Amino acid sequence: MLIVVPDLLDAAGVAHIRALIDAAQWVDGNVTSGHQSALAKRNLQLPETAPEARQAGQMILDALGRSPLFIAAALPLKIFPPLFNSYAGGQAFGTHVDNAVRIQAGTGFRVRSDLSITVFLEEPESYEGGELTIETHFGVQQVKLPAGQAVLYPSSSLHRVEPVTQGRRVASFFWMQSMIRDDAARQMLFDLDSSIQQLALDRGHDDAQVIRLTGVYHNLLRRWADA
């Protein structure tokens, strides 16, 4: 499942985050890489413990909490604190799969990476290349979104960031553990929820079939969820 979350951050939110992180000290991106990723990764990153990263990350988490689309698609149980990266001058991240479990440095907090998310923080016309390329069951998808928009996709998918040949690509990236481990089950619940919401708009929330289908949704969630 690949879901675009439009307008996660407004222009003021993007500007605030960029003011924070642009003034911070960036380091080699391999500080958080696994063995496979380290062979393919060339970028800069903010340290997990940087106060600017934590403040900007909390802004993104607050925005996700206000997004019904994100909640419906991800059904999040635990979210790894947002990280921030930058690509320029031909930097890229070759094809890889994200680590199955992410552990926050210096803590016991760990997340099974069911879903990955990228929040774009630079307008696409200001840099060349830098597409997030995701290999899905329906072929290769390339994503390059306006600043403030995000894309959610399975962490199990092969993906890469194409070389940035001009300008600078800045984004936030992180992982989450869903209440629904299985991607196909999560997709079915998302499709069902989307249909219920549309039926509710057409018929009203007190319509008997809307109520019945809402019950089916919650009974499936009750059966499948780890919470």
Query: Could you tell me which residues are annotated as the binding site for Fe cation?
Result: 96, 98, 159
Q: Residue positions in the annotated binding site?
A: 96, 98, 159, 169
Q: Which residue numbers belong to the known binding site for 2-oxoglutarate?
A: 169
DSSP 41: B
Output phi, psi for 145, to 5 deg.
Answer: -105, 160
Contact 177, 111 (CB under 8 A): yes
Q: What does the buried/exposed string (b/e) look like for 146-159 if buried means 16 or more CB atoms within 10 Å of the residue's CB?
A: ebbbbbbbbbebeb
* Residue environment code for 111-145, b if the CB has 16+ CB neighbours within 10 A, otherwise e: bbbbbbbbbbbbebeebebbbbbbeeeeeebebbb
Task: Please state, in angstroms and as integers, the Cα–Cα distance from residue 40 to each residue in 96, 97, 226, following that order.
Answer: 8, 11, 34
- Token pair 């597409």 is found at 131
- Contact indicator for 163, 92 with CB cutoff of 8 Å: yes
